[in-house]
Structure 1
Amino acid sequence: MAEKSERLLNLYIMLLAQTRFVSKQDIRRAHYGEYADNPRGHEAFEKAFERDKDDLRELGVVIEVGSLDNYFDDELGYRISPDTSSLPEIRFGADEAAVLGIAARAWEQATLARATTEAMRKLAAQGVEIDTSRLDLVPPSLRAEEPAFDACWEATQKRRVITFDYRRPGEEAASRRLQPWGVVRSSGRWYVVGFDLDRQAERVFRLSRVQGKVTLTGKSAAYDVPAGTDVQAVAHNLVHRTPDIEATVLVRQRTGVALRRLSSSIDEDVAGPDDASGWDRVTVSGQARDLVGSVLALGPNAVLETPEDLRSDVVSRLRGVAS
C-alpha cells in the first residue's frame, strides 16, 4: 500500500509539473521501473498505468490527454493542469485566524509547532492580519518534554504498532506492545492510549514512565481505531485519579462561568479583595492541577481562599509570572 501511494504521488507530481504532454514511454521509464526495459512487461505496465490513472481520477484529479506533436496525433501524451487541480481559495475570519494564532504560540513541541507555524505562514500569504501581541497577556504553553512523545504521536498518525519499556512505581520496567489510538493530555501529563497486544485490552500509559526508546514496528495502517472511540474518555476512565479536593474561590460577579457550573454551592454578594464589582464565594471540587489552572486563567477575577496549599501554589505561580 505504501509503495502504491508513493507511486501515485510521484505520478501526480510528474504530470502536474510538466508544461507539455508526457509520453507514456517516459512515464513508464520514470515510475514503472519494473516494466521499463522488459518487452514482456508491456501488458503489465498498461494495466498498472490504467489502474493508477483511475485511482487519481477517483481522487478528483483531472488528467488531460493530448497529442505529443502539433502536426501528428498518432502518439498521445498526458499531463495535469494546475487550473484543474488547485484547491479553492481558503479564507479565515478573524476569530478562526485568532485560534490558529493561539495554537502557533501555544505549541512548543517541535513535532506540532512545525504544523502550526506552517499554518501561520499560509495565513500571512493570504493577507490575514493577526496581531500576536494581543496574546501576550496570557501566553499559553503546551510542552511535551517526554522523549517518547514524538514517536507515539507519529505512530498514532500512521497507525503503526509501538514497543517500549514501561515502569510502574515500585516495579521493574517491562516490555509492552501497543496499537496506539491517540496521545492525550490530562491533569498536566501526557498519555498514550491504545490496545495492549499482550494484555488484549485497552490500556493507557503515562509517557513520563516510558523507559528508553519507543520503536515503531510493522507496516503503516496495520490496524483500525474502533469506531466511535473517544480517546480522551478512555484515558479519563483508565487513569488512576486521586481524590478530588474541595476548594473555595472568590469569583468576581458575572465571571467564572466554568467554575460556577462545577460548584456545589455559591454564596452571593460576599466581601472581596476590591470594590470594583461584587464578589461571590464558590465552593468547587476537582483535581488540584485543574483547580489551580482554572483560578489562574481567570486572572484578577478570582482569588483562591482554601485550601492553603493550593492557595500557596497559586501565589507562587503568580509571583513567578510577575518576576
Structure 2
Amino acid sequence: MSTARAERLVNLVLALLSTRQYLTADRIRGIVPGYAEAASDEAFSRMFERDKTELRELGIPLEIGRNSVFDGVDGYRIARRDYELGEIELAPDEAAAVGLAVRLWDSPELNDQAHGALVKLRAAGVEVDHGAPPLVESRVRTEPAFSPLLAAVQNRQAVCFDYRRSGSAERLTRTLEPWGVVSWRARWYVVGHDRHRQATRCFKLSRILGEVRTVGPPGLVERPENVNLLEFVAGSDRSEQPTPVATARLWIADRRAARIRRHATITGRLTVDGVGGDLAEIELYHPENAADWIAGHGPDVLVLEPDVLAKAVRERLHAIARPGSVRP
C-alpha cells in the first residue's frame, strides 16, 4: 500500500470514528485529506469504493445510514462499540513495550498532530464526540523518574537519586550504574550496579524521591553479558514479600463479607445464634489495622482467635452502638 493511500485511510477512519452523524460520500470527499486529488467524480467514486473495501477487509466495521428521513442519500460512520478493543492482558515484557509506545504517543510531536487532525474535522463541520473514551487505554503507569533513567541507560551514564525503602520513611541517597528499566506486575524498576553496596540491585521507580541526577560523563556504564533484568526483578520482588505476623480464626456468615472471604481459607462450618456460616483462617500482615477492617462487616464476621483481636473488634462495635455515635 502506498504512503498516500495509507494516510488517506487513516484520515477516513478518524473522520468516521470521531463523529456521531452519518457522513455522505460528498461530505467525506470535502473534508478527508487525499480525496481532493481525484480528477473527476468517477475517479473519486472508484477511490472511495476501494477504500471502503480495504477497511472492511481490515475488520473495521462501517455503518451505513441516514441522519433523518429528509436525507436523500446514505452516509457512513464507524460505531465505536464495534471498533473498540476488548480486555487485553499483557505479559510483563509486552506491557513494557506498550508502555514505551504510549509514552511516544504522548510526546508533544504526535500529540500536536492528533490535536491538529481534530481541529480540521471540527472546522469542516464534523461533530466530534468529546466525551468518548480513548480507543486504547494503557494500564502501565510510568513514574517521573522513568524518562531520566531511560535516558541514562541509553547514554550508559551513572545516576544519583534519593530513595525511600519499603515500610520506612527513611530517605537514602543511591548512586547507580543503570543497566535497564523493566516493568514487573505493572510497576517500573531500574536495575543496575549499586556503588554504595557494590552489588546488583533493583529500585522501584515509585519510591524514588525528587529528581534523578546524572553522575560523571556518559559512555562509562557497562552492562554485564547474559544478565536477565526481568528475572532479577522478579526474584527481588519475591524476596521482599512480607510474611504474616499472625493468623486469625473467624466465623463468616453465609453469603456475607466477600472482601474477607477473598483473603481467607475456609476450614469448616459453624452455626452461631442460629445463623449458618463458615469457619475461616486469615493471615494478618498488619494486625493493628485488622480490627477496623473486620469491624466494618458488623455482625457478619465473628473473631474466634486471637483474643486480643476479638476484644479490639468488640470495642469498635460497642463504640459505634453508643448513643450519639456516628453511624456509617
TM-score by length of structure 2 reads 0.38
> Which of the pair has more CA radius of gyration?
2
Q: What TM-score, normalized to structure 1? A: 0.38
